Amino acid sequence: MTNTNKKVLVTGGTGYIGSHTVVELINAGYETVIADNLSNSERFILDRIEQIAGVRPKFYEIDLCDKAKVEDLFNAESDIKAVIHFAAFKAVGESVKEPLKYFRNNNLSLINLLEVMNEKGVNNIVFSSSATVYGQPDVLPATEATPFQKALSAYGSTKQMGEEILEKVSSATIIKSIALRYFNPVGAHKSALIGELPVGVPNNLMPFVTQTGIGKREMLTIFGDDYSTPDGTCIRDYIHVVDLAKAHVKACERLIAEKAESNYEVFNLGTGKGTSVLEIVNAFEKVTGQKLNYKIGPRREGDVESLYAETKLANEKLGWKAELGLEEMLSSAWAWEVKLHEGTVEV
């Protein structure tokens, strides 16, 4: 039963993390509205959300860089209680080659959204940020107080700038915001009806692993095994996308219930556990029984050696803790890849 006091707008809601979050919002009784320009996602995800959650979110196919379209949406949807803003470009490598595309899209869409929210008196926003803002911290685990390092990509800059914009706007207007810094989202919903849909050759490790496992990619290249880590490969904090989605529901609840302790709050969303690339490969083979064809290649420029989260703040303040382990991350990612392979969806 939806409670109209809890209507949430999800921008980028047909995307990977967005779609999983819409499912969890519906499960928690929220009414959901999605705004997405489908530049990096597929319309059929709406059908899958309805199949999983039994409710079809209202959908607006709009580009948030078009402020008039954002105003039309807020006029049509008058009682939005909170916005979760996922819509952004997120390919790190592409952002190095095309910085202006990233600055325009990621920053202008946020500015348009905030201007219209301010005009319409919608004062709660949850922002999709990233652990990439930390670069390579001097001390691990990374806490929310860990200083930013100069972003190595335009994508990273847009996340740092996005947080900066929110902090300043939240101190000058009625808008209250929560920035969620994701570590490495992986996995898929247990139904295998939604998951990561990389366009073209995947940049990220997990989809490359599952596509290699299914035979869509010839071989996985591990980018370097000469790092100062136990097995020489990079360490990351992989977090199940469903755990990540549930944290967004908690953040919405915190804002709508006016429980935030300041106008701008930041939370790390990770498991607090670091896992190396080789450990991922070995665990994948064990969990799926699927041999993985891989080789060691040169380091990838811009990669940090090791990054994992201190999650105490989110545990305490959001009442949220990651529950799903590596096995569920890997088995759900594989089940989704198998389902994609069986289906007619070509990505």
The catalytic residue positions are 155
Q: Distance between CA 22 and CA 46 in Å, rounded?
A: 10
Question: What are the distances in angstroms from CA 47 to CA 50, 273, 345?
Answer: 5, 34, 13
Whether 294 and 223 have beta carbons less than 8 Å apart is answered as no
- The single residue among 303, 315, 331, 339 that binds ligand WQD, judged by CB under 6 A, is 303
Based on the shown chain and the rule CB under 6 A, indicate whether residue 234 belongs to the binding site for ligand WQD: yes
Based on the shown chain and the rule CB under 6 A, indicate whether residue 107 belongs to the binding site for ligand WQD: no
- The single residue among 173, 221, 263, 331 that binds ligand WQD, judged by CB under 6 A, is 221
- When the beta carbons of 26 and 281 are compared against ligand WQD, the nearer one is 281
Q: Which of 54, 15, 58 is nearest to 34 (CA)?
A: 58
What DSSP string describes 54-105?
A: S-PPEEE---TT-HHHHHHHHHHSTT--EEEE--S---HHHHHH-HHHHIII
- The single residue among 67, 69, 216, 300 that binds ligand WQD, judged by CB under 6 A, is 300
Based on the shown chain and the rule CB under 6 A, indicate whether residue 236 belongs to the binding site for ligand WQD: yes
Whether 298 and 131 have beta carbons less than 8 Å apart is answered as no
Peptide bond just before 230 cis, omega within 30 deg: no
Based on the shown chain and the rule CB under 6 A, indicate whether residue 284 belongs to the binding site for ligand WQD: no
Closest separation in Å from C-beta 122 to ligand WQD: 25
Q: Distance between CA 278 and CA 265 in Å, rounded?
A: 35
- When the beta carbons of 6 and 246 are compared against ligand WQD, the nearer one is 246
The end-to-end CA distance of the chain, in Å, is 35
Residues between 160 and 189 with contacts to ligand WQD, criterion CB under 6 A: 184
Q: Which of 197, 220, 218 is nearest to 208 (CA)?
A: 220
Closest separation in Å from C-beta 88 to ligand WQD: 8
Based on the shown chain and the rule CB under 6 A, indicate whether residue 204 belongs to the binding site for ligand WQD: yes
Whether 184 and 244 have beta carbons less than 8 Å apart is answered as no
Judged by CB under 6 A, the stretch of 139-147, 171-179, 219-227, 259-267 that binds ligand WQD is: 219-227
Based on the shown chain and the rule CB under 6 A, indicate whether residue 125 belongs to the binding site for ligand WQD: no
- The single residue among 63, 99, 223, 232 that binds ligand WQD, judged by CB under 6 A, is 223
Among all residues, whose Cβ is closest to ligand WQD? 234
Applying CB under 6 A, which residues contact ligand WQD? 90, 92, 130, 132, 184, 203-205, 208, 220-223, 234, 236, 277, 300, 303
